[in-house]
Amino acid sequence: MAVAGRHRATVDWLVAGPEAGDPEAGVLKAGDREAGNLEAAPADASLACLDALFDDLELTDPELLPGRFDDYPAFFTALARDRTVPCAGAAPHPRLRILGLLEARLLTADRVVLGGLDEGVWPAKTVTDAFLNRPMRGRVGLDPPERRIGQMAHDFVQGLGCHDAVITRSAKREGAPTVPSRLLQRVRAFVGETRWRGACDAGQRFLAYSAAIDALPAQPRLTQPKPRPDPALFPRTLSVTEIETLVRDPYSIFARHVLGLDPLDPLAAQPGASDRGSMVHDIFSAFAERYPEALPEVGLAVQHLADIAVNAFAEIENTYPELYAEWWPRYERMAAAYLPWEVERRAGLKRVHPEIYGRWEIPMGRETFTLRARADRIESRADGSACIVDFKTGAPPSSREIFAGFSPQLTLEAAMLMAGAFPGFRRTRAVPDLLYVHASGGRKAFTPIPVKPPRGDVRTVEAIVAEHAERLRGLVARFMTGEAAYISRPYPKYARDYGAYDHLARVLEWSLAGEGEA
């Protein structure tokens, strides 16, 4: 329970304020709790409830609660949900009381507000016990479930006995429409529509008060951010994946490279899809690096690939067995298709270059821009041609996205290869083949997808590679001269569902998606 102790010290330090000093010193101001000086704590019933929860955690035997650090938030949340915070604190409001039905029977007031007159709330929903049905409840002397409804109806009538009674209900609960309480419906039927409308009209005054509290002056609508900093701040080197980001969401490049803001990784987060993708890349890369030219006998190749995979998955198996139980079968399906594909391709290859880095220096007037890339795999053939392969554990981009210029990763790597930017490859005019491999391990475990023109597009892959290289020069030139602005999500259709800097750009406040979620 060391984590709970640190949690408690931090919470008490936040409650006490910055004057409390180091949160490691303890709770509130250093030594206040031990000395019995609790006057510094505000009179808040929720703090007393939280204090009791931490006290119970301190009395718990740590050996009875094994777990990882990232289990603590869910564990603490589950315990906190079971705690009830009393409405009245040490100094209750002098004129207001929030009471339950039982307490309200014993007191009188000048005005009574009867709240929650929704079916299922007042009266509460009747629940039939799965272990004690109605006949069994009668035999053991228990009241039927409907008795509680009668008691709540009595409380309702007693509350209406006050000369000034206000009845309220919720039109929606948790986003779902509610049904008026049967008690309200019976009152409406008894008094008639004329008096019912009169009572509703009288309540409009309170609705107006509520609307006035929530009303705000008209706020100017936020616009899409389009910063234009000093052109000298534009980075002089980017990777091919960052070029894709520059096309889809220039604001992310502004936040990361101009403002110098790197997104923080979640604290003690479990490995996710990107980690699984990195593991798959590492396994295939290690196997190709071990056998860059000819493959060994099939049985030996299977054994070596399995050894590499077992070592790569060892940490996941030991630390996150539940993830290992999901990821390992997917990898096995993937590996079963990978080796036959590898054997078939090696027949026409001279050498495989896995995880190869390249740098392409592009003259831009008086300056130079450097494009960086790390290709998953470049295959060189005996006839001098080549093929660039990119493994995707997620969905690869569509042909339309590639030809439209929103996924230029492979086309720019092809331009780099033609410019001799990768070590071991000379400058050439021949455009390499481009291949995505969807290695998901799912129903279609391992699917090669060559890049080809989409239906209706007459341009060839060779033309697209040249076009993307030229568009890259123009794009970089516009930012280096200050002509282009770092617009946030200029193409919403091609933007990712969530970007690391969307909160900084306040996307939900100016986009149509934000209006829909408001």
Q: Which of 51, 50, 47 is nearest to 80 (CA)?
A: 50
Can you tell me the mean pLDDT for 98-114?
Answer: 88
For the cut 60, the answer to whether the pLDDT of residue 360 exceeds it is yes
Q: What is the pLDDT of residue 35?
A: 45
Contacts of 514 (CB under 8 A, 6+ apart): 507, 508
Q: What is the pLDDT of residue 11?
A: 83
Of 430 and 66, more confident: 430
Ordered structural domains, the chain, with CATH? 2-81 (no CATH), 101-214 (3.30.160.800), 236-245+264-362+377-470 (no CATH)
Whole-number Å distance between alpha carbons of 476 and 469: 11
- Percent of the chain residues past pLDDT 90, beyond the cut: 57
| Residue 214 parent element (H or E) | helix 193-214
For the cut 90, the answer to whether the pLDDT of residue 258 exceeds it is yes
DSSP string, 307-364: HHHHHHHHHHHHH-HHHHHHHHHHHHHHHHHHHHHHHHHHTTEEEEEEEEEEEEEEEE
Per-residue confidence at 88, pLDDT binned at 50, 70, 90? Answer: low
Q: Using an 8 Å Cβ cutoff, are 169 and 117 in contact? A: yes
- Map residue 201 onto helix, strand or coil: helix
Q: What is the pLDDT of residue 61?
A: 72
- Map residue 448 onto helix, strand or coil: strand
Q: What is the pLDDT of residue 20?
A: 54
Beta strands 386-392; 367-381: pairing state: antiparallel
CA-to-CA separations, 293 to 26, 303, 307, 414, 425, in angstroms, rounded? 63, 18, 20, 22, 16
Name the amino acid, one letter, at 235: P
Can you tell me the mean pLDDT for 63-85?
Answer: 79
Whole-number Å distance between alpha carbons of 50 and 460: 66
Name the amino acid, one letter, at 412: L
Per-residue confidence at 124, pLDDT binned at 50, 70, 90? Answer: confident
For the cut 80, the answer to whether the pLDDT of residue 60 exceeds it is no
A 10 A CB-CB count for 220 gives 5
Q: What is the pLDDT of residue 447?
A: 94
- Residue identified by tokens 């096309």 is 247
- Map residue 473 onto helix, strand or coil: helix
Which range has the worst mean pLDDT, 60-64, 118-122, 489-493? 60-64
Q: What is the pLDDT of residue 130?
A: 74
Q: What is the pLDDT of residue 143?
A: 84
Q: What is the pLDDT of residue 137?
A: 84
Neighbouring C-alpha atoms within 13 Å toward the C-beta of 85: 13
Whole-number Å distance between alpha carbons of 436 and 458: 21
| Residue 380 parent element (H or E) | strand 367-381
Per-residue pLDDT tens digits for 185-195: 999 999 999 99
Q: Using an 8 Å Cβ cutoff, are 156 and 169 in contact? A: no
Whole-number Å distance between alpha carbons of 41 and 20: 12
Whole-number Å distance between alpha carbons of 327 and 264: 25
Can you tell me the mean pLDDT for 495-514?
Answer: 81
Whole-number Å distance between alpha carbons of 5 and 94: 37
For the cut 70, the answer to whether the pLDDT of residue 255 exceeds it is yes
Which range has the worst mean pLDDT, 11-25, 79-93, 276-290? 11-25
Q: Which two tokens stand for residue 512?
A: 């149509």
For the cut 80, the answer to whether the pLDDT of residue 407 exceeds it is yes
- Percent of the chain residues past pLDDT 70, beyond the cut: 91
Per-residue confidence at 41, pLDDT binned at 50, 70, 90? Answer: very low
Per-residue pLDDT tens digits for 131-157: 788 888 888 888 887 888 889 999 999
Q: Which of 435, 433, 342, 427 is nearest to 385 (CA)?
A: 433
What's the DSSP call for residue 121?
B
Whole-number Å distance between alpha carbons of 228 and 482: 7
